[in-house]
Structure 1
Amino acid sequence: MLLDIENLTLLLPGAARPLLADVSLKVASGEVVGLVGESGSGKSTTAKAALRILPDGVTAEGRVRVDGEDVLAMTGARLREHRARTVAMVHQDPRSALNPVRRIGDFLVERLVRTGSTDRRDARARAVELLGSVGLPDPERHVRQHPHELSGGMLQRVVIAGALAAEPRLLLADEATSALDVTTQADILALLRTLREQRELGLLFITHDLHLAAAYCDRVYVMYAGRVVEEQQAERLFGHARHPYTQGLLECSPELGDTSRVLRPIPGRPPSLADGFTGCPFADRCPHTESACETWQPEALSLQDGGTAACRRVHDRRPAAEATGRTR
């Protein structure tokens, strides 16, 4: 297994609840795994754990393995090498990753030299090659340009090229398409899929769009309040969501061409780090909650057709498609 996170818990001093609680997640080589949830659910924190980029003062419990090696035990030169060569991250806003007064070629050359992928003499030629590999039409011209001369979609390709400079085995895409228009988003998704197939990359795809994750990924994890509340194969999740939170996300998401369906927002708000709870973190927003839910300790319960859901009533209720009559 390329990425194997097992029972990861992050405790932050002064917080009423863990930043992450018993998070387990796996990504295999050549697999696209989605990570979905509202803002503040812990998606980015989970991804950054693969790089051991953790908040100051946090206490980590559990294990994070990348290619069989414990990331939480890495220090010094080994950790720097891991961050430079094994795992790469693509963020939502490409402009924040680029110095506005330096050329695109400078960004790529610096990354190539720093990761040891090539020496400075050959780095520029390799930079041109990288820009061509991510679909930019005139890479020789683009290496001489500044970030303000490129569109958002072109800059996202530049950042992806930088992430691929050291040929990592695992790519973390943190809302990498959410700031783009629909057409450009489709181009970037197609590019990531092609790169995954060509390089056998493992891809952790973080998004707030459950429909996109279900269409694009092989498997999907749904997070809420620092916990994984459901995990299923993507083709089953859309029509057979079992956790009330996953069902709620689907019910408040619009569908193209379906103007008759009434969107049902999830009532309330997700808990902050200042909000403590003794049982299920979704109990105060769940339409199926019972008094026992307020003391039930969440655990991942196996589903009959594969996957898991952290709901004490998961075996008492019908899947979302049966309950609502919806099909994909």
Structure 2
Amino acid sequence: MLLDIENLTVHLPGAARPLLAEVSLQVRTGEVVGLVGESGSGKSTTAKAALGILPDGARTEGRVLVDGADVLPMTGTRLREHRARTVAMVHQDPRSALNPVRRVGDFLVERLVRPGEGSGRERRRALGTAIGLLDAVGLPDPERRVRQRPHEMSGGMLQRVVIAGALAAEPRLLLADEATSALDVTTQAEILALLRRLREQRELGMLFITHDLHLAAAYCDRVYVMYAGRVVEEQQAQRLFAHARHPYTRGLLDCSPELGGTPRAIRPIPGRPPSLADAFPGCPFTARCPHSEPTCETWTPEPLPLADAGTAACRRIGELPPGGPLDKPATGTTEDHAQPSEPAVRSTP
């Protein structure tokens, strides 16, 4: 197992509830695993835990195993080597990862040779490697690009530069945190195709974080859905799209626009996600769930196995039919709200 997060809980000083609560997640070599949910659900924090990056003062429980080594106890040199060689992250905004006054070649060379170290020959060799990386990610005329600064490139080109930097040390695990959401739909498709090709060529494992459940269903092998710091559902991607079991997952599908299929109204999930100041003894989705009962307010969420593989953290999972809308529409039939059999890759609204 390339990434194995076991019951990870993260407590912050002064918070009424854990930032992450008993999160378990796995990524195998060559597999793309999606992580979806609203803003504040804990997606980025879960990914950063694989790098050993947690908020100041955080107290942790559980384990984060990357290639068999627990990241949480790592410090100093061992943690730096882990970040440099085992796992890499691609962020949402490539401009925030690049120094605007330095050349792209400097950014890539520093990923290969630490500043102040290495002979002139080694740095020239690293520059040649950087040019090869830019060529590998499909950036045209890489010899010229290494001499350019970020303002001379488009957003899609900069995203390719950041991906090249992430691949510089040949990591085995790639964390893509909303890596395409800031791009237009055409560039998004190109970056997704690039990531898929690199995964196949290098046998990368990938944790793909997105707000877009339809995109995750089309691109990923398996999908985890997070809410209020917890994993509430996990299934194979295509099955999750067609047979969502947790009411929150159904709500995400209902409020997501889509291309093709029968036109339907977009129905937002009522209420708002809980903040760290909101304490609740039971299921965190109770206040927004149309199927909640008084018992849900005290039932501690736990992943329950589904008969068709996967898990869902809902005490009424055996009573609710798979798939379908979150609740009955005011008018029309259930056919009016049927999901298409094949999701379309589209841009995040």
Provide TM-score, normalisation by structure 1: 0.97
Match of residue 143 from structure 1: 146
- CA deviations on 1:242-282 (whole Å, 9 max, x unpaired) are 00000000000111134620111000000000011010000
Match of residue 169 from structure 2: 166
Match of residue 330 from structure 2: none
2:312 counterpart of 1:309: yes
- Structure 2 CA distance for aligned equivalents of residues 119 and 295 of structure 1: 61
- Structure 2 CA distance for aligned equivalents of residues 322 and 128 of structure 1: 50
Alignment of 1:167-316 (within 5 A): 167-258=170-261, 260-316=263-319
- Structure 2 CA distance for aligned equivalents of residues 120 and 259 of structure 1: 57
State whether residues 232 and 303 of structure 2, in contact with CA within 8 Å, keep that contact through their aligned partners in structure 1.
Answer: yes
Does the residue aligned with 1:284 lie in a helix, a strand or coil? helix
Match of residue 109 from structure 2: 109
Unaligned runs of 5+ in 1: none
2:102 counterpart of 1:99: no
Residue 121 of structure 1, CA deviation:
2.9
State the AA in 2 paired with 1:120.
R
The 1:239–1:33 alpha-carbon spacing in structure 2 relative to 1, beyond 3 Å, is same
Alignment of 1:123-142 (within 5 A): 123-142=126-145
The 1:306–1:322 alpha-carbon spacing in structure 2 relative to 1, beyond 3 Å, is farther
Does the residue aligned with 2:232 lie in a helix, a strand or coil? strand
Match of residue 329 from structure 2: none
Does the residue aligned with 1:254 lie in a helix, a strand or coil? coil
State whether residues 15 and 276 of structure 2, in contact with CA within 8 Å, keep that contact through their aligned partners in structure 1.
Answer: yes
| Divergent runs of 4+, >6 A | 115-118
Match of residue 47 from structure 1: 47
Does the residue aligned with 2:290 lie in a helix, a strand or coil? coil
- Structure 1 CA distance for aligned equivalents of residues 139 and 309 of structure 2: 41
- CA deviations on 1:40-73 (whole Å, 9 max, x unpaired) are 0000000000011000001000010000011112
- Structure 1 CA distance for aligned equivalents of residues 174 and 114 of structure 2: 18
Does the residue aligned with 2:163 lie in a helix, a strand or coil? helix
Match of residue 19 from structure 2: 19
Provide TM-score, normalisation by structure 2: 0.92
State the AA in 2 paired with 1:101.
V
State the AA in 2 paired with 1:233.
Q
Residue 322 of structure 1, CA deviation:
8.6
Unaligned runs of 5+ in 2: 327-333, 342-349
State the AA in 2 paired with 1:129.
G
* RMSD of equivalent CA atoms: 1.5
State whether residues 250 and 325 of structure 2, in contact with CA within 8 Å, keep that contact through their aligned partners in structure 1.
Answer: no
2:56 counterpart of 1:56: yes
Does the residue aligned with 1:77 lie in a helix, a strand or coil? helix
Does the residue aligned with 2:223 lie in a helix, a strand or coil? strand
Q: Identify which range, 318-327 or 115-124, moves more after superposition.
A: 115-124
State the AA in 2 paired with 1:77.
T
State the AA in 2 paired with 1:247.
R
State the AA in 2 paired with 1:294.
E
State the AA in 2 paired with 1:221.
Y
State the AA in 2 paired with 1:119.
E
Residue 119 of structure 1, CA deviation:
3.0
